[in-house]
Amino acid sequence: MAENRSSFKGKIGFVLAAAGSAVGLGNIWRFPYLAAKYGGGIFLLVYIALAVTFGFSLMVAEIAIGRKTGLSPIGAFRSLDRRFTFVGVLGALVPAIILPYYSVIGGWVMKYMLGFVTGSAHEMANGTYFNSYIGETGEPLVWFLTFIAITAVVVLFGVQKGIEKVSKVMMPVLVLLTVFISIYTICTMDGAVEGVWYYIKPDFSKFSIMTVVAAMGQLFYSMSLAMGIMITFGSYMKKEISIEKSTRQIELFDTGIAFLAGLMIVPAVYAFSGGDEAALGQGPGLMFVTLPKIFEVMPGGAVIGAAFFIMVFLAALTSAISLMETVVSVLQDKFKLDRKLSCLCVLGICLLLGVPSSFGYSVWSEVKILGMQLLDFFDFASNSVLMPIIALATSIFVGYVLKPKALIEEVELGCEFKWKRLFSVVIRYVAPVCILVILVSSVLGAFGVIKI
What's the CA gap between 439 and 355, in Å, rounded? 28
- Which among 12, 5, 10 is positioned nearest to 250, based on CA atoms? 12
Strands (E) in 102-257, as ranges, are: none
For ligand PHE, the closer of residues 29 and 133 by Cβ is 29
CB within 8 Å of 65: residues ≥ 6 apart: 76, 77, 80, 231, 234, 398, 407
For ligand PHE, the closer of residues 22 and 330 by Cβ is 22
Tell me the one-letter amino acid at 353. L
For ligand PHE, the closer of residues 319 and 357 by Cβ is 319
Q: Are 385 and 213 in contact (CB under 8 A)?
A: no
What's the CA gap between 33 and 287, in Å, rounded? 7
Tell me how far, at minimum, the Cβ of 188 lies from ligand PHE, in Å: 29
**Residue, CB closest to ligand PHE:** 26
- Which among 202, 194, 198, 199 is positioned nearest to 45, based on CA atoms? 202
Tell me how far, at minimum, the Cβ of 3 lies from ligand PHE, in Å: 26
For ligand PHE, the closer of residues 143 and 198 by Cβ is 143
Tell me how far, at minimum, the Cβ of 244 lies from ligand PHE, in Å: 20
Q: What share of the chain is helix, strand, coil (3-state, %, to 5)?
A: 80, 0, 20
Tell me how far, at minimum, the Cβ of 94 lies from ligand PHE, in Å: 8
- Which among 63, 91, 66 is positioned nearest to 76, based on CA atoms? 66
For ligand PHE, the closer of residues 178 and 322 by Cβ is 322
Tell me how far, at minimum, the Cβ of 429 lies from ligand PHE, in Å: 27
DSSP H/E element including 167: helix 160-188
Tell me how far, at minimum, the Cβ of 284 lies from ligand PHE, in Å: 13
Tell me the one-letter amino acid at 238. K
For ligand PHE, the closer of residues 159 and 183 by Cβ is 159
For ligand PHE, the closer of residues 222 and 395 by Cβ is 222
Q: Give the binding site for ligand PHE (CB under 6 A).
A: 21-22, 24-27, 95, 221-222, 224, 227, 229, 319, 322-323
What radius of gyration, in Å, describes the C-alpha atoms of the chain?
21
Phi/psi of residue 430, nearest 5 degrees: -65, -50
Tell me how far, at minimum, the Cβ of 271 lies from ligand PHE, in Å: 26
For ligand PHE, the closer of residues 218 and 358 by Cβ is 218
Tell me how far, at minimum, the Cβ of 55 lies from ligand PHE, in Å: 12
- Which among 367, 359, 351 is positioned nearest to 137, based on CA atoms? 359
